[in-house]
Amino acid sequence: MLPFLREAYANPSSVHQFGQSVRHRVEVAREQVARLIGAAAKEIVFTSGGTESINLAIRGALSARRWTGAGSRPRRILTTAVEHSAVLRVLEVLEADEWIIDTIGVDQDGRIEEAEFAAKLADDTALVSLIHANNETGVVFDVARLAGIAADRGIPVHVDAVQSVGKLPIDVTDWPVQFVSMSAHKFHGPKGTGALYVRRRARISPLIHGGGQERGLRGGTENVAGVVGMGVAAETATSDHAETAHRVRALRDRLEGGILSSIPFAHVNGRGAERLYTTANIGFEGLEAEAILILLSEARICASAGAACSSGSLEPSHVLKAMGIDERIAHGAIRFSLSRFSTTEEIDHVVATLPGLLSRLTALSMNR
């Protein structure tokens, strides 16, 4: 990224040689990101991150629909009860604008019933939005099958794959979906850069109007350094995915097994479902997540309560509520996030340190 902050700082939309050399690197990055998900380069639109990609997909898809005939306008959007807040907040705004939001529940392991999904699709459903891998529990939805049900009804589908791109093998040619949101920092690229996959011939309108960048779908001069960094991160994720997945899954299992064997009131949320190997959501019954996080931080262990962007809330996460997790467990739920940089020594440090920290909290709660 550094050369594009220091020397190659030209505007990629400029026609002169300086600008076109930078444009070339933007297009190389577009190809790198496209290869990560099996797309064509022209189907990748660069954004400022996952949240903007989600907004562009949902609001852009609805804005682009062409309505014909009196009373024929679809007014429903189908989603799940465990979506990321970036999706939920957009849908709240649309609901205030008289869109009808249909929500599918999940079971205690965070899974969707296909039959309920199919039953919820209506003749006036305009869009389906599904998360691929849950950001709190790591539970993975079979979006290929679910999207296929929607496709049979001619309903476009957006997939929030922010957590899964770069970690799970994804080939959009196998997914009958129109839009896939992703974010660079979730696979070790720079924060503040993301992308939206827009299937060829999918209908979508821009949110940001300007100079016609990104095929007219996202106005504004590109963040070249961020885009280049995202491309390199995508290429790295593509090249070492299988080895990383095997090693990090073993670390996650070591972490969960160590905690469960030493702490009898620990519960792994979503354990019975297919899960992303980088996420462990563990509830400590009878304790408060915020207190646990403070002590973990003092021990130089970084974790979060639910989604990182909503940490600080005293309420259990909406995801665990939707799963029907007992409140005494949900209030004490911690998310541990692993990556290809995680080590066995780090995992063992957590397993060795955590019981003592929780004993302190248990003693304090008993003395109240």
Structural domains in the chain, sorted by start: 3-239 (3.40.640.10), 241-366 (3.90.1150.10)
Q: Check 64, 309, 352, 364 and give the catalytic one.
A: 309
Q: Are 194 and 48 in contact (CB under 8 A)?
A: yes
pLDDT digits (tens, 9 = 90+) for 143-178: 999 999 999 999 999 999 999 999 999 999 999 999
Instruction: Determine how β-strand 194-198 pairs with β-strand 44-47.
Output: antiparallel
The model's pTM: 0.94
Alpha helical stretches, state H, the chain: 3-6, 17-37, 50-64, 85-96, 114-120, 143-152, 224-239, 241-262, 289-298, 318-322, 327-330, 344-366
Region 129-134 average pLDDT: 98
Using 50, 70 and 90 to split pLDDT, how confident is the model at 309?
Answer: low
Alpha carbons 230 and 187: distance in angstroms, whole number: 9
Q: Is 309 one of the catalytic residues?
A: yes
- Provide the pLDDT for residue 316: 85
